[in-house]
Amino acid sequence: MCGIVGLHLRDPDLHPQLGALLSGMLTALGERGPDAAGVAVYGDPVWTPPGTSCVSVLTQRGPDELQAAIVAETGCEPSVLHVGGTTLIRAAIDPATLRAAVHAVAPEALLIGFGEDVAVLKGIGRPADLAAGWGLAGAQGRQGVGHTRMATESAVVPEGSHPYAVGPDQCMVHNGSFANHATIRRELRARGVEFDSENDTEVGARFVAQCLADGLDVETALKELCARFDGFYTLLVADRDSFAVVRDAIACKPAVIAETDAWVAMGSEYRALVGLPGIEGARIYEPDPERVYAWTH
């Protein structure tokens, strides 16, 4: 049992409140996932300043060491920020170049997200404590995704925590399990895809990332996932332009969507949504099995 939440803001006047709203949603589902938690925040001007790329990593290296090494590797001086247990490395170069440079100078670091618009934070512990350590309530932006984890099929380690953000500005959170992930993992490895964990969610995230790299949009990629993956699941997938939800054919895992003119929100339980502004007038519904619900900016 895990908890997933997502908030897609349609009203720019709410952007300064994104972190506070997402923090409330995440901590409301702390009982569903007391082992670990993580978030992906899109558009925060401090964590991902305009005109820069950002790589999110878990590492023991200090900011001065990382900064000097990346300058030597790229000739570009980055800005390094510690947010709770996550390190955000920002620089005015393209995301792929920055990602490669971070891997070259700190190969032991766990890369947990990259792109031009997303900061990914994750850790082990109670979701409320992690959110407080990140200062999540003070974050801004237009979209956020969160996960609270109760470990079932893999260890309680940082690389097993969600979100899985394996493509540029992409992320996935998952409640459930994929039955045939080992088979699809082998197929992806045969195509040269590398993995950071034994978690089944990472297989789904890398499958979607491969579909997007092959030219599919998010909605079509999720339809491909439903056709290939067996199991019980609710998924929330986001990139810088879109926000999408899908459930398996039996719709075994809980999910609630709420919409107003100002926002779209999703949670594993309704209690994650009760603190949102205007919830009393929202259209609230349970997503149908194998139907992809997608919204774009």
State pLDDT tens for residues 217-236: 999 999 999 999 999 999 99
Q: What is the mean pLDDT of residues 143-160?
A: 83
Residues 6+ apart with CB under 8 A from 69: 105, 106
Same domain membership, residue 147 and residue 57: no
Same domain membership, residue 41 and residue 55: no
Contact (Cβ atoms closer than 8 angstroms) between residue 86 and residue 121: yes
Same domain membership, residue 55 and residue 175: no
Write down the mean pLDDT value for the chain: 95
Contact (Cβ atoms closer than 8 angstroms) between residue 163 and residue 173: yes
Residues 6+ apart with CB under 8 A from 40: 113, 118, 119, 120, 121, 144, 145, 146, 163, 165, 171, 238
Same domain membership, residue 138 and residue 267: yes
pLDDT tier for residue 123 given thresholds of 50, 70 and 90: very high
277-286 pLDDT, tens digit each: 999 999 999 9
Same domain membership, residue 267 and residue 171: yes
Residue 73's identity, in one-letter code, is E
The per-residue pLDDT for 199 is 87
The 3-state DSSP class for residue 13 equals: helix
33-51 pLDDT, tens digit each: 899 999 999 999 999 999 9
Mark which of 95, 116, 137 sits at the end of a domain. 116
Confidence (pTM): 0.95
The whole-angstrom separation of Cα 144 and Cα 131 is 13
248-287 pLDDT, tens digit each: 999 999 999 999 999 999 999 999 999 999 999 999 999 9
The CATH number linked to 207 is 3.60.20.10
Contact (Cβ atoms closer than 8 angstroms) between residue 7 and residue 22: yes
pLDDT value at 56 more than 80: yes
Same domain membership, residue 272 and residue 205: yes
The per-residue pLDDT for 158 is 79
Residues annotated as catalytic are 2
pLDDT top residue among 196 and 5: 5
pLDDT value at 243 more than 80: yes
pLDDT value at 12 more than 90: yes
pLDDT value at 153 more than 70: no
Same domain membership, residue 138 and residue 88: no
Q: What is the mean pLDDT of residues 55-75?
A: 94
The per-residue pLDDT for 154 is 67
The whole-angstrom separation of Cα 232 and Cα 205 is 16
Same domain membership, residue 42 and residue 53: no
The greatest distance separating any two alpha carbons of the chain, rounded to the nearest whole angstrom, comes to: 55
For the chain, where are the E strands, in sequence order? 3-9, 36-42, 53-58, 79-83, 86-91, 110-115, 118-124, 143-149, 171-178, 231-238, 242-247, 256-259, 263-267, 283-285, 293-296
Phi, psi of 261 (to 5 degrees): -65, -20
Looking up tokens 């100002």 gives: 262
pLDDT top residue among 23 and 159: 23
Same domain membership, residue 197 and residue 107: no
The per-residue pLDDT for 95 is 96
Residue 189 CB coordination number (10 Å):
12
How many domains is the chain partitioned into structurally?
Answer: 2
The CATH number linked to 58 is 3.30.70.2730
Same domain membership, residue 55 and residue 198: no
Q: What is the mean pLDDT of residues 129-148?
A: 97
The per-residue pLDDT for 66 is 94
B/e letters for 254-276, b = 16+ CB within 10 Å, e = fewer, are bbbbbbbeebbbbbbbeebbeeb
165-179 pLDDT, tens digit each: 999 999 999 999 999
184-195 pLDDT, tens digit each: 999 999 999 999
Same domain membership, residue 176 and residue 65: no
pLDDT value at 156 more than 70: yes
Same domain membership, residue 36 and residue 58: no
Per the document, the length of the chain is 297
Nearest CA to 166 out of 142, 195, 198, 192 is that of 195
From residue 171, alpha-carbon distances to 142, 143, 277 in Å are: 15, 12, 25
Contact (Cβ atoms closer than 8 angstroms) between residue 207 and residue 228: yes
The whole-angstrom separation of Cα 236 and Cα 63 is 32
Q: What domain range includes position 279?
A: 3-47+125-296
